[in-house]
Amino acid sequence: MKTTEKVALVTGANRGIGYETARQLGQQGITVVVGARTVKAASDTVARLKAEGIKAVPVKLEVTDANDRIAVARTIEEQFGKLDILINNAGVGAVGGMFNSKTIETTEEELQSVLATNLFAVIAVTRALLPLLKKSDAGRIVNVSSILGSLTLHADPNSPIASIKTFSYDVSKTALNAFTIHLAAELKDTKIKVNSAHPGWVKTELGTDQAPMEISDGAKTSVTLALLGPDGSSGRFVHMDEELPW
């Protein structure tokens, strides 16, 4: 039986931007399905959210694991009958960190690993959950990308990211943006909206303490896109309501 409450799945929701995104959605009265790599991580996160009065459900979701993806879709179907919001937040950084610029020296193993999580798993998770999103009155898909996926800015020697060229991570986010554009076009005649979010440079394990933004601000773009009204745009690349170049 389809519930009337809004339900959101956030992948990688046990820490950092993912946790804060789940928290902010929960503060809006949305039931949050917390996806994490282990049952313990998901359950511990749900306990923290429930302590704040947020309705949350834990699920084991290693996004690269097909069995986990199938099980999560089944759990959401059985408990809620639909999914309103999918936040594809889980992701990994490049070997050596974000500022270890390299291109031709990037190993095949690194490319396979980063793309497996940041691109192929996002596509697979979305494919598994799309039937449930189509049952929503207003489905929303948010792909957590990065400004480092912008080809336009990377090609501009005067852009703020010109010197940060870590190929494996950057190309994974460029390809993720392509997925956003293609899926938004495919779903244009439905009530589902698909957008890419750039959280900003945030103080997380990936962003390091050098980042200027707090985690609470890093979640805001994803939350805004998740809560878009019927007149909201689809197929956009956004940071804090500002459109970014692809």
| Strand-pair partners of 10 | 34, 87
What pTM was estimated for this model as a whole? 0.94
Q: For residue range 51-63, what is the model confidence (pLDDT) as tens digits?
A: 999 999 999 999 9
19 is catalytic: no
Select from 82, 89, 108 the least CA-distant residue to 191: 82
At 124, list the tokens: 């697979």
CA distance 41 to 237: 30
The topology under which CATH files domain 7-243 is Rossmann fold (3.40.50)
Q: What pLDDT shows up at residue 98?
A: 73
CA torsion, points 141, 200, 37, 43, in degrees to nearest 10?
Answer: -90
pLDDT above 60 for 177: yes
Q: Give Cα 72 to chain centroid, integer Å.
A: 16
Q: For residue range 6-41, what is the model confidence (pLDDT) as tens digits?
A: 999 999 999 999 999 999 999 999 999 999 999 999
CA distance 68 to 200: 29
To the nearest whole number, what is the mean pLDDT of the chain?
Answer: 93
**Catalytic position from the list 19, 80, 169, 179:** 169
